[in-house]
Amino acid sequence: MAVLSSYYLAPISYYALLAQADEVVIDCDEPYRKQTLRNRCWIASPNGPVALTVPVVKFVPYHTPMRDIRVSDHGNWRHLHWNALKSSYGRTPFFEYYADEIAVFYERRWQFLADYNAALQQTVSRLLDLSQPHPAHPRCFPYYQMFSDRHGFMPDLSIVDLLFNMGPESIYYLFDPDMLKK
């Protein structure tokens, strides 16, 4: 059994754990920590890796459980995040295939970060077809990635990097036995 934190558009290694674990528990009772992947993801951009951060409402540090962290609408972050995703991945092979299902997460307000992360994770897991058993696949590192000609391969970015670049083949990458060693 894997016990994982609630992450915003978690890295590929997180989804490899989800894919390969017999049972997964997402711990939303753990204390929220600033500057972590709970409200931040990394994507590829023309200038290299870029962090996208979901702003949260002020809280009592080290005491507030993740489930009680509220999303702030400060700074029009939803519009900025979606534009960053379109700008970075709009020309990838599978962006148009998945864009509508991801875009809905940037069109409405969310009250709690854990709910937002859980809804994103459920959608991404469905798009990856994680509910079905999959056999191990031959080693597949690195995969095709936008901007690798400028910055080299950027490992373990947000799952959207793998999804938009590899589409339905993403699942085989997650089930690669070497993926959990990263």
> Any bridge partners for residue 41, and if so which?
52
Residue tagged 């299902």 (tokens): 101
Among 51-55, 136-140, 152-156, 160-164, the least confident range: 136-140
Instruction: Provide the number of structural domains found in the chain.
Output: 1
Residue 179, pLDDT score: 62
More reliable by pLDDT, 61 or 29 = 29
Q: Are 158 and 145 in contact (CB under 8 A)?
A: no
Query: In whole angstroms, how far apart are CA 88 and each of 134, 146, 155?
Result: 29, 8, 16
pTM over 0.85: yes
Phi-psi label, residue 93: left if phi above 0, alpha if psi -120 to 50, beta otherwise: alpha
Query: In whole angstroms, how far apart are CA 134 and each of 138, 159, 175?
Result: 12, 18, 7
| Consecutive H or E run containing 42 | strand 40-45
Indicate if the pLDDT at residue 48 is higher than 60: yes
Percent residues over pLDDT 70 in the chain: 91
Determine the average pLDDT of the residues in 38-48.
96
Burial class (CB in 10 A: 0-12, 13-18, 19+), 133: exposed
* Containing structural domain, residue 102: 2-181
**Measured between alpha carbons, how far is 93 from 80 in angstroms, rounded to an integer?**
22
More reliable by pLDDT, 96 or 19 = 96
